[in-house]
Amino acid sequence: MHFGRWLLAGVASVALLLGGTIGPASAGSELDGLAGAPVRSPIASDSFYFLMTDRYVNGDPANDTGGRSGGPSTTGFEPTSDAFYHGGDLAGLAGRCDAADPSDHGLARIKRLGFTAVWITPPFVQRTVQASSAAYHGYWFLDITKPDAHLGTEAEFATFMACAKKLQLKVFLDVVVNHTADVITYKQGYSYVPIARAPYRTATGRRFDPWSYTSGTSFPRLSAKKSFAKTPSVEPAFSAAKAPAVLNEVTRYHNRGDIDWGSCVGRCEMDGDFSGLDDLMTEDWTVVKALADSYGEWITKYGIDGFRIDTAKHVDPYFFGRWLPLIQQTATSAGKSQFTSFGEVWYTEPAQLSEMMRARGLPSVLDFPFQDVARTFVTGRASGASLASLFEEDDYYTTATTNAYGLTTFLGNHDMGRIGFFLTSQSTSEGQQLLERDLLAHDLLYLTRGVPVVYYGDEVGMTGSGDGKDKNARQDMFETQVPEWRLEERIGGSPIASGSSLDLSTPIESRMAALAAVRSTNPALASGAMITRYGAGSVFAVSRIDAAARREYLVAFNTGDDPASVRIPTSTPATAWSPLLGGSGAQSDASGTVAVTVPARSSLVLKASDTLPQPSAPSVSLRAAKDFVTGTYRLTAAVPGTDPGAVTFVMRRKGSADWTVLGTDDARPFRVFVPPAKGRSVEVAAVVKDSAGQVASTSPLRVSIAPFL
């Protein structure tokens, strides 16, 4: 994604940096038939509500202690503490399942807010208490074959799923594949031991590298006493606590000690215990199969629509290439052909984050780079140019099966904190102006590319206490008994005191419902091609393209404290633009430029009255260059004019007659990135298909894609 102007439009005479020449445009070539439509994720048009089940609705107080007796250290239940269970459950989420009943606060409420999908924290059986905290959040699993008793029974989970299906809400489960609850102890202590100091050994004492066994070859037999840097042991009370049963075998873990967050880079992130949690030997095919079978049961038994994958960057690099196909096979057999997943990978650089999709096989990831830049923009600490720069890097995500439109975007979460906390602590706004910044943040979330994820409680203006992170960002929606939470600042309202957030009606809720409605009525605002048109000062603006209707939308955001008057280029000249959200109508001139005034701390959405003009016959040229950021080769296609078409990039090996699609890009600059291959000489080409369906292609271009970094 980039500005409407195209700086390399005249590169047809420039020599190829790799030693070749740029392929000239050629109409009617054999390549024209390869022109394809850009891919879209199965969830590209969805909007997610992410909730922590324990903190949402308490539908059955009888399960608050998880069937245990005693104090909080045994039951895990202490509603006055932010570190223990509070009582939210599956029965509360199911409610009466009546979207027309305003007093039904379960999934029905989420449906009324306009969401199409819910993501719930892991519902699995937990180690109830570890150290001074309970597993209310769900990330310390012992048994992934059934729900935790604090949340409900299998029958109640089935009722919850039936309600979601009735309301046409997709359900994504949060799953953990990197680790289990902490039950393994080491007599040598918990400091991480590098492989160089203590290599892995087989049961017979032979050195081996687990990464050399990830292609399906038989994994060696290991010994608790001989194979690891640490000697693992388990207390008798937990010796058979995990399910599937194979996870009770201590040789199915790395047993290398805790990750040192101050010094660890690379392999230690994948072999070390995450904050003491038992790190699974995901290289072991037995572990891969056990995790696939057990999580797959939730698909076949309940009809789960997808997974959010916790701590995804901490498993070995080959895991998803082996585990996800098994999950997909199960989903397809269960009639869930649109099943998909997205991973949690806390990288804030697109070039780095995209490698989790390109190289490791994840269909999508949580878009931490978006969160980082959007936060600074809406708090008034970054300009529109920052957003333009962010979206310019979207092409790193483009492959034959993925692109940035499938990224899950968000403003805050249960780890880093809420958008409300960032707004109150990082901007100078107060009162109504603070509310306007909150609304602006959600406009940006819903109206730019990606799948918006709203963290529960943000719709009622929750902020946070203390540092705003972790436990301080996991408030109750029902009547809270945590003293600090009763007094916390609320954006757009007063502290909740002894009331329930579920009974509130807020301006933020109203805006979310309005945004959901405008996206539903105008699908291009959800999944249409996005072209950055303007990014300077306090303003950022994009076009969204309805390819089927050949209609353009203009969306602009202003983070400034004053109205901003700007001139924005579009692809639709000499037409009226009607307002769909905020602001007033406008008129584009003969060049397509629209003069608009965007209100302070606000947004506007305009729809062109006329369809896109009929373009002249297209042409395309191709250039290849090294991308020193990623170590890949960058293919860039230049297409004259301003028509919002799409370019498909293809490649074939020397001597082959078959072309492989590398990806289709629908926003300038048209680019894909090709991984290097040792000694590989290939042919590449580009095929453009304009908005009217006209096609042109380049001649094949021979290049070398040998590694260069």
pLDDT in tens, 58-110: 999 999 999 999 999 999 999 999 999 999 999 999 999 999 999 999 999 99
CA gap 686, 662 in Å, rounded:
10
Q: Are residues 412 and 325 in the same domain?
A: yes
The whole-number pLDDT of residue 9 equals: 27
The whole-number pLDDT of residue 625 equals: 95
The whole-number pLDDT of residue 17 equals: 31
The whole-number pLDDT of residue 92 equals: 98
CA gap 280, 246 in Å, rounded:
11
Average pLDDT over residues 210-238: 93
Question: Helix, strand or coil for residue 551?
Answer: strand
Question: Helix, strand or coil for residue 78?
Answer: coil
Structure tokens at 372: 């980082």
* Residue 105 falls inside a structural domain: yes
Give the active site residues. Answer: 310, 344
Q: Are residues 573 and 636 in the same domain?
A: no
The whole-number pLDDT of residue 30 equals: 81
Ranges assigned E (strand) in 216-288: 232-234, 278-279
The whole-number pLDDT of residue 709 equals: 78
Ranges assigned E (strand) in 267-351: 278-279, 306-310, 340-343
Q: Are residues 499 and 411 in the same domain?
A: yes
CA gap 59, 71 in Å, rounded:
22
Q: Are residues 335 and 473 in the same domain?
A: yes
Please report, in angstroms and rounded to a whole number, the separation of the first and last CA atoms in the chain.
Answer: 26
Among 515, 550, 571, which residue terminates a domain? 515
The CATH number covering residue 69 comes to 3.20.20.80
Q: Are residues 65 and 154 in the same domain?
A: yes
Among 549, 576, 608, which residue terminates a domain? 608
The whole-number pLDDT of residue 12 equals: 27
User: Is the four-CA dihedral 556, 606, 446, 364 of positive or negative sign?
Assistant: negative
The whole-number pLDDT of residue 187 equals: 93
Average pLDDT over residues 464-483: 97
Among 461, 495, 515, which residue terminates a domain? 515
Q: Give pLDDT tens digits for 636-666.
A: 999 999 999 999 999 999 888 899 999 999 9
* Residue 207 falls inside a structural domain: no
The whole-number pLDDT of residue 250 equals: 98
* Residue 365 falls inside a structural domain: yes
The CATH number covering residue 21 comes to 2.60.40.10
Residue 1 binned pLDDT confidence (cut-offs 50, 70, 90): very low
* DSSP 8-class letter at 280: B
DSSP result, 485-521: HHH--BTTB---TTS-GGG---HHHHHHHHHHHHHHH
DSSP result, 584-636: --EEB-TTS-EEEEEPTTEEEEEEESSPPPPPPPP--EEEEEEETTTTEEEEE
Q: Are residues 533 and 461 in the same domain?
A: no
Question: Helix, strand or coil for residue 390?
Answer: helix
Question: Helix, strand or coil for residue 530?
Answer: strand
Q: Are residues 359 and 475 in the same domain?
A: yes
Q: Are residues 23 and 81 in the same domain?
A: no
Strand partners for 534? 541
* Residue 266 falls inside a structural domain: no
Residue 25 has pLDDT above 70, yes or no: no
Q: Give pLDDT tens digits for 515-568.
A: 999 999 999 999 999 999 999 999 999 999 999 999 999 999 999 999 999 999
Residue 11 has pLDDT above 90, yes or no: no
Q: Are residues 674 and 543 in the same domain?
A: no
Q: Are residues 16 and 73 in the same domain?
A: no
Q: Give pLDDT tens digits for 244-272.
A: 999 999 999 999 999 999 888 889 999 99
Average pLDDT over residues 291-317: 98
Lowest mean pLDDT among 130-144, 500-514, 675-689: 675-689
Residue 142 has pLDDT above 60, yes or no: yes
DSSP result, 27-83: TT-GGGGG--PPP--TTTT--EEEE-GGGT--S-GGGTTTT--SSHHHH-B-TTSTT
* Residue 531 falls inside a structural domain: yes
Residue 467 binned pLDDT confidence (cut-offs 50, 70, 90): very high
The CATH number covering residue 541 comes to 2.60.40.1180
The whole-number pLDDT of residue 217 equals: 72
The whole-number pLDDT of residue 214 equals: 83
Query: What distance separates the 2 farthest-apart alpha carbons in the chain?
Result: 79
* Residue 545 falls inside a structural domain: yes
What percent of the chain stands above pLDDT 70? 96
Average pLDDT over residues 612-631: 96
Q: Give pLDDT tens digits for 29-41.
A: 789 999 989 999 9
* Residue 399 falls inside a structural domain: yes
What percent of the chain stands above pLDDT 90? 92
* Residue 646 falls inside a structural domain: yes
The whole-number pLDDT of residue 23 equals: 41
Q: Are residues 71 and 19 in the same domain?
A: no
387: CB partners within 8 A, 6+ apart: 373, 374, 377, 532, 535, 540
Give the residue carrying structure tokens 């757009």. Answer: 492
Q: Give pLDDT tens digits for 565-601.
A: 999 999 999 999 999 999 899 999 999 999 999 999 9
The whole-number pLDDT of residue 51 equals: 98
pTM: 0.95
Structure tokens at 540: 């950022």
The whole-number pLDDT of residue 693 equals: 96
Residues 305, 307, 312: CA angle, nearest 5 degrees: 165
Q: 647: domain range?
A: 11-27+617-704
Q: Are residues 604 and 638 in the same domain?
A: no
Residues 282, 188 contacting (CB under 8 angstroms)? no
Q: Give pLDDT tens digits for 669-709.
A: 999 999 998 877 899 999 999 999 999 999 999 999 999 87
Averaged pLDDT score across all residues of the chain: 94
What is the chain's percent helix, strand, coil content, to nearest 5?
25, 25, 50
Q: How many domains does the chain have?
A: 3
